[in-house]
Amino acid sequence: MSDPILSVRNLTIRFKGDGRETQVVHGVDFDIHPGETLALVGESGSGKSVTSFALMRLLPEAPRCRIDGQIRMGGTDLLALTEPQMAAYRGPRIAMIFQEPLTSLNPVHRVGDQIAEAIRFHRKMDRTAIRARVLELLRMVGIPDPERRMMAYPHEMSGGMRQRVVIAMALALEPELLIADEPTTALDVTVQAQILDLLRDLQKRTGMAMLFITHDFGVVAEIAERVMVMYSGRIVEEGSLGAVLERPRMPYTSGLLASVPRFEDAGQSKGPLGTIEGFVPSPDKLPAGCSFHPRCPQFRPGLCDQRMPELLPHGRPAHPVRCLRAPDLSLVPEVPA
Amino acid sequence: MLRFLVNRILQGCVLILIVSMIGFAVINLAPGGPLSQYAMTPGMSQADLDRIAHQMGLDRPLPVQYLDWLGNMLTGDWGRSYRDQSPVLDVVWRHLGATLLLMGTSTAIAIALGTMVGVLGALKRYSIFDYMATVGAMIALSIPTFWFGLVAIFIFSLELGWLPAGSMYTVGDQSLGDYLIHLIMPSLVLALVNVAIWSRYMRTATLDVMHQDFVRTARAKGLPRWRIVSAHIVRNALIPMITLAGLQLPTIIGGALVTETVFTWPGLGRLFIDSLGYNDYPVIMGLLMFSAILTVIGNFLADIGVAFADPRIRLG
């Protein structure tokens, strides 16, 4: 495989507040290769969004938040950059789209100006060239009548249209990596599908890599090639889309998969949808041993509550899992695909 | 837009009418009255007083007096000052310039300084600067203006002799420099409390905005920090401040009352105090109306300004 465009090593994130420190991400490692789509999946509170914000260095400043480890991009450790140096990476190298299209745009500026702004501060281009590029971008993300729409204010557009504007803004400088933090969660299902199609299509055209953050395995199946599952600030399973979806090795992953309704099952009585009992533990009250053990159907006392398992291949090098019971478990989704 | 205009003008007229009724009633209910100054004159008999009252129209029933005053006012005749018989509008006009000079300077200082202090305080929240600004604002707000005025006069006029203790110009000089020298102390003392108020509001508004999603989007675009602060944070934080600025307009009359008195500044505030002392009903009513009209205009301008600054707001 080619060299990764982004390598994350031992990424550790701690927040400080009220005199105590809470660690929310515990030594995360992963690589993203050119042109691939990597999905980062997990429930709310698993640390997936915090991880993605750390890659853009959008987390609060030093005393309130401590980030350790390395985020390497083309030989540079992003965590070692000064803020102005990092600003030069945001846009042309890494760009990001967000969960809330309704609030991600500044309400008092025209959308065309907001896209132009993303170009203006990185490239020396004159007004006409920037305007042409903005129109091209709006067309590319499928906004009809771009000459008129670029003059609109965000509140004059629907959620789907606004998300397209945010995408156009992120793609303005043809980044090598696009981080998409639940970009479809706030949208209607039909609009969701359109946006996923658009992102897939744009990726094909530009060859950018994509880190797709989501809690929805339905979306993962639509867009990802590789999947990482995150729980309580750690990666607990990693593998190709097919491997993870069809032969999950971590009880948490199979639990998540069992909770996704399937179209094929419609009208058949397969019983209620699967659920995972309990909640993601609060980061400052992680249980001893494997952090998933209190909710795990495969929990074995004396083993799982004793030590935190490593992320290990257990015989399948391309599909490591963080589970002490991996050697004696061979999990398939409770509802076969 | 036309409907908005018509609506606001009608509303404003009703408001001003109500203010005039209440104002007229309250002034006439207060003990004393314009005749009390004549009552002390030796040799003044009750018959003389009655004759003066009749000449001034004060012996008529109050509603008749009010309607008479209202009718005259609507035709541009705001009455004549009891003190020197000059028309009320002339009297107001004579004092307006001085007040505008003082209030305009001090408001400009207050807005510029208050905005800077507020934005910096919010950006560097919980820093030494932020704490100093907070404590400073508390001090400026809790100590009365006249005290600051007197202390400033004591230090800079009496002890150091750098600045004149009062009035707007030196008789016989009246150059621009002379006006400016006289303006420094009163405008800064007057600005002090407004800087405090404005910076507190601006700090809150900035904190509100800087944690919104679109500021994060702006950072994700790789914009330089100054651009994020100016085009995204401050630009949005100033919108609610427009309303506050509109409410400042009527304080032209009341706002400088104490300061004008302390610094013997010949403005509307002092005119108001003096007129109260003389029971100069026409001037008091004139100033009251002037203040009510400024309130209506200030609110109107603020609404237009907000609609102009925030595309989500439509007038109507």
Spans of all domains in chain B? 88-309
Question: Could you tell me the pLDDT band of residue A97, with boundaries at 50, 70 and 90?
Answer: very high
CB A39, CB A228: distance < 8 Å: yes
Domain membership flag for residue A154 = no
Q: B88-309 domain in CATH 2.60.40.60?
A: no
- Write down the pLDDT at residue B89: 87
Residues of B with CB under 8 A from a CB of A: 212-214, 216-225, 227, 231-232, 235-236, 239, 309-312
Which pLDDT score is estimated for B120? 94
Assess contact for B81 and B88: CB atoms under 8 A: yes
Residue keyed to tokens 């987390």: A59
Q: Report the pLDDT value the prediction gives residue A334, as an integer from 0 to 100.
A: 47
* Rounded CA separation B296/B40 (Å): 41
List the domain range (segments joined by +) for residue A88: 6-106+174-328
Residue B127 makes CB contacts below 8 A (sequence gap 6+) with none
The DSSP-derived string for A79-142 is GGS-HHHHHHHBTTTEEEE-S-TTTSS-TTS-HHHHHHHHHHTTS---HHHHHHHHHHHHHHTT
Q: Among A218, A185, A223, which residue's Cα sits nearest to residue A39?
A: A223
Per the prediction, chain A carries an average pLDDT of 87
Q: Is pLDDT of B66 > 80?
A: yes
Residue bearing the bigger pLDDT, B17 or B47:
B17
- Does residue A120 belong to any structural domain of this protein? no
The reply to whether A170 touches chain B by the CB within 8 Å rule is yes
Which range of A177-191, B111-125, B267-281 scores highest in mean pLDDT? It is B111-125
Q: Is residue A75 part of a domain?
A: yes
Structural domain count, chain A: 1
The predicted pLDDT at position A266 comes to 67
Q: Give the CATH number for residue A80.
A: 3.40.50.300
Residues of chain A in contact with residue B311, where contact means CB-CB under 8 angstroms, are 107-108, 153, 155
CB A142 within 8 A of CB A175: no
Select from A87, A104, A117 the Cβ nearest to the Cβ of B213.
A104
User: Cβ contacts (< 8 Å) between B212 and chain A: which residues?
Assistant: 103
Nearest CA in chain A to B307: A108
Confidence band, pLDDT 50/70/90 cuts, at residue A335: very low
pLDDT value, residue A180: 93
Residue A337, pLDDT score:
40
Percent of chain B with pLDDT over 90: 24
Q: Do A319 and A243 meet the contact criterion of CB atoms below 8 Å apart?
A: yes
Q: Which of A104, A119, A181 to mutate to test the interface with B (most CBs of B within 10 A)?
A: A104
Say if the ipTM goes beyond 0.90.
no
Contact B83, B277 (CB under 8 A): no
Interface contact flag, B216 A109, Cβ < 8 Å? no
pLDDT at residue A330 in the model? 65
CB contact under 8 A, A106 and B213: no
Question: Mean pLDDT, to the nearest integer, of A300-310?
Answer: 85
Q: Residue B236: closest CA among chain A residues belongs to which residue?
A: A108
Residue of B nearest to A103 (CA): B213
pLDDT at B285 over 60: yes
The pLDDT of residue A162 is above 70:
yes
Could you tell me if residue A259 is inside a domain?
Answer: yes
For residues A130-140, give the mean pLDDT. Answer: 93
> Which of A212-216, B62-66, B179-183, B222-226 has the weakest average pLDDT?
B179-183
Asked if the structure places residue A59 within a domain, the reply is yes
